[in-house]
Amino acid sequence: MKKLHVLVAALLLLSTVSFAQLTAGKLAITTDPTANSLGAAYALSENMRIDAGLSLLSVSPPSPAKSATAIGLSAGVKMYKPAVENVAYYYGGKFSFSTDGGDPAVTALYLGVLAGAEYYFSPRFSLAGHANFGFQSAGAANKTTTIGTTGLNTVWTWWFN
């Protein structure tokens, strides 16, 4: 954990001092600790960004329960309102697919909408939070459950061009 704090501090120090908004053609690395995901972002324009992510979750419960590892892919789009000071507001949508290697295997599809705000500490680093609402369909052994889901996420973004 201490190494993570040092890494975050170093990235913040390497960021420049002035603040910025989205600029067309910018690339970024993103992480969402609340969803165990690492991804990339690309700014299509000053008010539109696309995201892609990979998530990995490994659970090792005490015996006799079996451990499980889930892997997922996600894609999303965010539309931004003009920034006020260092804060930009956005809304968008997200799609994700995940599966685990269990017996029986569980697969899940998610489709949802989101809205939130992003604070730019510098042109190269921002922290965002959003609320989402969607529907998830999960199935195992010919049983499928579809539910409405809500959630809160935090996303750290490091722009590198």
pLDDT higher than threshold 80 for residue 124: yes
3-state class of 11 per DSSP?
helix
Q: Which amino acid is at 34?
A: T
Nearest CA to 88 among 50, 128, 31? Answer: 128
Q: Output the pLDDT for position 34.
A: 82
Q: What domains are there in the chain, each with its CATH number?
A: 2-159 (2.40.160.20)
Query: Considering Cα of 110, then 56, then 48, then 123, what sign does the dihedral take?
Result: positive
Q: Output the pLDDT for position 147.
A: 76
Preceding amide of 104 cis, omega within 30: yes
pLDDT higher than threshold 60 for residue 113: yes
Q: Output the pLDDT for position 7.
A: 60
How does pLDDT run across 33-76, given as a tens digit for each residue?
888 899 999 999 999 999 999 998 887 777 666 777 889 999 99
Q: How far apart are CA 67 and CA 59, in angstroms?
A: 5
The chain-wide mean pLDDT, for the chain, equals 84
Higher pLDDT among residues 92 and 108, named by residue: 92
pLDDT higher than threshold 90 for residue 146: no
Going through the chain in order, the beta strands assigned E by DSSP cover: 27-32, 37-45, 48-59, 68-80, 87-100, 107-122, 125-140, 143-159
